[in-house]
Amino acid sequence: MNLPASFYARPTLEVAEELIGKVLVHEVRGRRTSGIIVETEAYIGESDPACHAAPGPTKRNAPLYGPPGRAYVYFNYGMHYLVNAVTEREGSPAAVLIRALEPLEGVDTMFRRRGLKTDAGRRFSGAAGENRRPASVLCSGPGNLTKAMAINLRQNCADLTRSQLTIEDRGIRPGRLTWSSRIGIRVGTEQEWRCYWSGHPSVSGRLR
DNA sequence: CGTTCGATGCACT
DNA sequence: GTGCATCGAACGT
């Protein structure tokens, strides 16, 4: 069942923690892909220098100032889309970046969209250059998961409680959680606002 | 193992 | 013109 808007209308760190174990679902042309959220990051307010709201309201960051429970999608580094869930309340710009998923449904579709070959049920053993990967890393990293799930600017501002892009509670109980500093930013690194499922193979980066 | 660096487009100053 | 909430190949050790 879909998470209600009230789930998102809370302090962002709470939402970042409780999104671990929930399921991100995207349905496009009747094709469904989904994955268990295993890694998130919180971006909180204009006083957070790493948050896109730091410069104040702009055309790009407008969704952050809108109601909670919507998607904030943006294009980064000329080639990646990143997806967030807007939190808190209208006029209070904050969001949770979804950084990694454990693939659940539509794994074949994810392989195709990533341009990778399936490992045919085997463990990762492909030679370099063969583009073989284990399914567990299909959605490791914020740019990888949007590519695997075909999330782009058309999903910006989508209502996560009732649209093609939703987050569901399927009663999955995550393992131990760890907080660390956020990845890939140059300012605001002192805050430990990255939350991940410890030891999960789909978590991005080196430290799992 | 580790680190560096190029690809690539757009919002913002 | 500058700088990204990235990724992965190509190096160095």
User: Among A178, A83, A185, which residue's Cα sits nearest to residue A139?
Assistant: A83
Amino acid A117: pLDDT: 78
A206 inside domain: no
Taking only the tens place, the pLDDT of each residue in A98-136 is 999 999 999 999 999 999 877 654 434 344 445 667 899
Low-confidence residues of chain A: pLDDT under 50:
121-129, 208
Whether A179 sits with its Cβ under 7 A from any strand B atom: the answer reads: no
Query: What total number of domains does chain A contain?
Result: 1
Whether A77 sits with its Cβ under 7 A from any strand B atom: the answer reads: yes
Cβ of A136: how many Cβ atoms within 10 Å?
Answer: 18
Whether A55 sits with its Cβ under 7 A from any strand B atom: the answer reads: yes
A205 inside domain: no
3-state SS assignment for residue A30 = coil
Query: Nearest nucleotide to A140 by CA–C1' distance?
Result: C7
Cβ of A183: how many Cβ atoms within 10 Å?
Answer: 16
DSSP symbols for A82-148: EEEEE-S-TTS-EEEEEEEEEEEE-HHHHHHHHT-B--TTS-S-PPTTS-B--GGGTTBSHHHHHHH
- In one letter, which amino acid is A53? A
User: What range defines the domain where residue A160 resides?
Assistant: 5-197
Query: Nearest nucleotide to A60 by CA–C1' distance?
Result: B11
A202 inside domain: no
Amino acid A121: pLDDT: 44
CA of A130 vs C1' of C4, distance in Å?
Answer: 31
Amino acid A206: pLDDT: 56
Whether A58 sits with its Cβ under 7 A from any strand B atom: the answer reads: yes
A46 inside domain: yes
- CATH number at A58 reads 3.10.300.10
CA of A157 vs C1' of C11, distance in Å?
Answer: 41
Query: Nearest nucleotide to A51 by CA–C1' distance?
Result: C5
Model-level pTM?
0.94
A25 inside domain: yes
